[in-house]
Structure 1
């Protein structure tokens, strides 16, 4: 039954992603022989419904690939391990054969057949107990999750959770300029070209080709130098200075100060980020 349900979910997943303009706390799909729902659940309830030693299926939203994991530990979020060597192999394939801290949008298939939006990274760390060929564990965050180090929500995971839930467009379209810029930089850090394209503008006709440059970025930090949000109700253009530190493949560390220009078509339109100055620094 589990594999029949999983096959059906993977079949419908592209259709659900194509209709992300519909938002609700619970997204229900038309009646079908096998029904399921995407259910945004808070970490407190997840901590109880997916206790330590429980197993569940992780579905990568972007690729549709899935693998099984076991929760081993974690407070504030789930510390999990791939269940078998086969699951480890699938997870590594999702990350194109290289372990990475990049966050990815995932859906958790629970035993009650609900789908829970979440975010994972792909970097083994810490201890591991299963004979699965995975050197440690990795983290899965849910709505309301926090990190061990800061005790606060991780913005990179937060963005991916909203993507998995089908709420990312609504979220980004309603952000003030400086917060949208921060989310844009998060999408670059995560290597998510699709999300970056949604909120970008460029003088280049082929923006997808330009965004391929972000594949060269191996690590990234930034500081938005303007701390106060000063969008006026009528402003259509905003310039925001940012200090950016990059580690670029085959080039090494790069530190630069950039001024990002954000524009919108009208006072009620969403902001967009001009990506050209940033991508010029990634050569």
Structure 2
């Protein structure tokens, strides 16, 4: 009963205070619950949710939650929705379409509330009678992928978003790394994160930001560049971009992005106009 009550309260908090928590202040938000969000390394999480354990996944954006069972995974958790109803809720979170896009989530296991990142694509083996053909992956701080053995930047960004630390992270990135985070956010269709980084010379950037929904796939290559000077306020970075645009198909192009900041201690921002022009 305590767990159910907590999920309801947390879901309402996520929906009502998402902008407050992630966009407007670094001050703590006090809630009438005993659980505290705490980043935990994979080595610790691996013991908290051992193989065949049950826990709850809470989507940060929607506040919706569903139950899962961990089935496998040595450097991250391979999990399955517990029932057909859990599968239905998970698919609803992904707007009715299974997707590799990462989402920020919180894991509720016993009295642990752990920031994490999930994707929504069934793959590999699955054995529960849940209507989900395979399993999906949940990454935590320190997790790596099966294929590369390295941490996945997309998951890392979503873990920090779930922890409420994404602003601090992005505000301290150098230009090239910020560009990588921008493309990761576009790839995940996270307009909220893109909005934190993007600027435009156009009057209505909100209208232009809607264009990222047209991007069904994106790949990019950044050149090796010299580190920006400590006092520089503007820099340009050429990027090779491979886009797949809805109703248009593949576009290969080279775009030059201008990054600016208002002072040597201010965060960098990315002028998105070259990308917006390519999508038109």
Q: Does 1:258 find its partner at 2:251?
A: no
| Aligned counterparts of 2:88 and 2:202: Cα–Cα separation in 1 | 38
TM-score scaled by length of structure 1? 0.94
| Aligned counterparts of 2:212 and 2:226: Cα–Cα separation in 1 | 27
Question: Who is 2:140 aligned against?
Answer: 142
| Aligned counterparts of 2:249 and 2:187: Cα–Cα separation in 1 | 16
Question: Who is 2:85 aligned against?
Answer: 86
Q: Does 1:18 find its partner at 2:16?
A: no
Match of 2:266 among 258, 266, 269: 269
Q: Does 1:207 find its partner at 2:209?
A: no
Match of 1:221 among 214, 219, 222: 219
Q: Which structure 2 residues correspond to residues 2-13 of structure 1 after superposition, within 5 A? A: 2-13=3-14
Q: Which digits, 9 at most, give the CA deviation of each residue in 1:114-148, with x for residues without a partner?
A: 21000001111111111111111110000000000
Q: Which digits, 9 at most, give the CA deviation of each residue in 1:31-79, with x for residues without a partner?
A: 73x3210010000011111011111111110111111111110111000
Aligned residue for 2:37, secondary structure, equals: strand
Q: Is the 8 A contact 2:10 2:63 kept in 1?
A: no
Q: Does 1:74 find its partner at 2:42?
A: no
Q: Gaps (5+ residues) in structure 2?
A: none
Q: Which structure 2 residues correspond to residues 18-97 of structure 1 after superposition, within 5 A? A: 18-20=20-22, 21-22=25-26, 30=30, 32=32, 34-97=33-96
Q: Is the 8 A contact 1:176 1:229 kept in 2?
A: no
Please identify, of 244-253 and 180-189, the stretch whose mean Cα deviation from structure 2 is larger: 244-253
| Aligned counterparts of 1:151 and 1:128: Cα–Cα separation in 2 | 23
| Aligned counterparts of 1:217 and 1:279: Cα–Cα separation in 2 | 11
| Aligned counterparts of 1:68 and 1:139: Cα–Cα separation in 2 | 14
Give me the CA root mean square deviation: 1.4
| Aligned counterparts of 1:57 and 1:282: Cα–Cα separation in 2 | 38
| Aligned counterparts of 2:132 and 2:115: Cα–Cα separation in 1 | 24
Aligned residue for 1:196, secondary structure, equals: helix
Q: Which structure 2 residues correspond to residues 157-236 of structure 1 after superposition, within 5 A? A: 157-225=155-223, 227-236=224-233
Match of 2:117 among 108, 116, 119: 119
Classify 1:241/1:31 alpha carbon distance in 2 versus 1 (closer, same or farther; 3 Å).
closer
| Aligned counterparts of 1:167 and 1:117: Cα–Cα separation in 2 | 10
Deviation at 1:17, TM superposition (A): 5.1
Count of residue pairs brought into register by the alignment:
276
Please identify, of 116-125 and 203-212, the stretch whose mean Cα deviation from structure 2 is larger: 203-212
Classify 1:17/1:45 alpha carbon distance in 2 versus 1 (closer, same or farther; 3 Å).
farther
